[in-house]
Amino acid sequence: MAARGAALAHSTLWRWLSWLGGLTRTMQRASQLICQQDSHSTLHQQVIPVDPRKYRSEERRVRLEQTARMLLVEATFQEHFGKNIFPRFATGCGWR
């Protein structure tokens, strides 16, 4: 695709991040399962800072933090259960 000059629109990455950060129900249910299996998990205490140069509005800051948290939950879920959240678990949560 690159040889043909194809490229992503600048808004594509933001749409992907918005979608991933919007999966709050999936993130909450996965976090609950992790905490049930490991009562000493510090997943809920971890702070995920976002560089202020990466956003221009409070809405975008929140969405970037949610996206980063979702990626952290995905990695922790995979570590604990040996499976990915996507697509089956997320589908079961209704992709919300």
**pLDDT tens digits for 12-70?**
878 888 888 888 888 999 999 999 999 898 888 888 888 999 889 999 899 889 999 99
Between CA 77 and CA 31 the distance in angstroms is 8
Residue that is written with structure tokens 């879920």 in the block: 77
Average pLDDT for residues 73-87, to the nearest whole number? Answer: 91
pLDDT recorded at residue 2: 61
Residue that is written with structure tokens 């079961």 in the block: 92
pLDDT band at 92 (very low <50, low <70, confident <90, very high): confident
